[in-house]
Amino acid sequence: MKLRISTSVMGLCVGLASGAATAQDNPSLGTAEVTTELQVRGTNPALEIEAAPRDMSVSGDEFVTSLQAMTKLLLPPRSPVLLGIGSGVVAPHGTVFASVSGTTNRDDAAGASDDLNLDGSVAFGFGLGDATETVGMQVTTAITGLEPFGDSGSLSLKFSRALAPTTFAGLSFGNVAGWGVEEDEDVKTTLAVTHFGDIWAQDTYFPFMLTAGYGTNVTEGGTEEGAILGAGVGLNEYLGLSVSTNTEFVNLGVGFRSPELEGWNLSLTAVDAFDQEDRQALQIAVSYAVPNAF
């Protein structure tokens, strides 16, 4: 017998946009993403889990896998998060999301000033298609000009395809169309592969995700190409931790959610957490996702 996990898209929160200045000073943020396992499973998950042996003679690894799947059904849902870089997955079909984020950053990328400012942005988007069957697509509009509201922004597209049941490849095109201060910006391309798995410890588990990729606007203040790497783990139904890098500096992040507030997420990301490139900043983001909106 096969069972499908049915959970809400509480962890969606894709396309948390940072401001234009933030994206320049902290290139790992770019059009920042908060990625979770539920972007893959959604509310109509495509990933089937064998919840019971098909016959009484099943033993060995298959039996262990079945027991682990049954344990998952009994435990509160949890999922990892990935903060500070892109990933290989997109929002499930029919999911609509919105986010508001603010980032502190120094006046000068070279660290000439220690005065902190706050750059804000708003993002809206939706998911189309199914990456496990054909190709999944995500459309995100980021509004980076807030005074007056909407005077600057950009449109981004992302495509994803399953390489294996728990491995996805994504190709994103940032700033496909821009207006205001974003109008003259080049298209920013990133290719990333994300893999999901579980770490088991006695009678509980910790879901994790690993991402590796390469982008055109990653290093040297977002002007040069480079690699991105990241890992995230879900500790429980409320908390997930993340670490990511663009090979110049490290980002540390934490994601919060509450089962009582379905669809809502809060994330905190320490960009350049160890001040390796003098670009240290804190991003705070709140997002909301509605599954099966269309």
CATH number of the domain to which 49 belongs: 2.40.160.40
Looking at residue 105, what is its pLDDT? 72
- Give, in degrees to the nearest 5, the angle at Cα 123 between 121 and 125: 175
CB-count exposure of residue 166 (10 Å: 0-12, 13-18, 19+): middle
Residue 231's domain comprises: 2-290
Q: What does the alpha-carbon distance between residue 247 and residue 101 come to, in Å, rounded to a whole number?
A: 24
Q: pLDDT digits over 211-250, tens only?
A: 999 999 999 888 899 999 999 999 998 999 999 999 999 9
Cβ–Cβ contacts within 10 Å for residue 81, how many? 27
How many domains does the chain contain in total?
Answer: 1
User: Kind of pairing, strands 224-234 and 153-164?
Assistant: unpaired
All residues at 6 or more sequence positions from 288 whose CB lies less than 8 Å from its CB, including other chains: 13, 97, 98, 99, 263, 264, 265
Q: Calculate the dihedral angle through the C-alpha atoms of 153, 186, 194, 163, rounding to the nearest 10 degrees.
A: 110
Write phi, then psi, for 71 (nearest 5 degrees). -60, -40
pLDDT band, residue 190 (cuts 50/70/90): very high
pTM for the whole thing?
Answer: 0.79
- Give, in degrees to the nearest 5, the angle at Cα 244 between 8 and 140: 50
Cis-peptide, bond into residue 148, ω within 30° of zero: yes
Q: What is the mean pLDDT of the chain?
A: 79
Q: Calculate the dihedral angle through the C-alpha atoms of 244, 215, 142, 37, rounding to the nearest 10 degrees.
A: -50
Q: pLDDT digits over 93-150, tens only?
A: 999 999 999 998 754 444 444 555 678 899 999 999 999 999 999 999 999 877 778 8
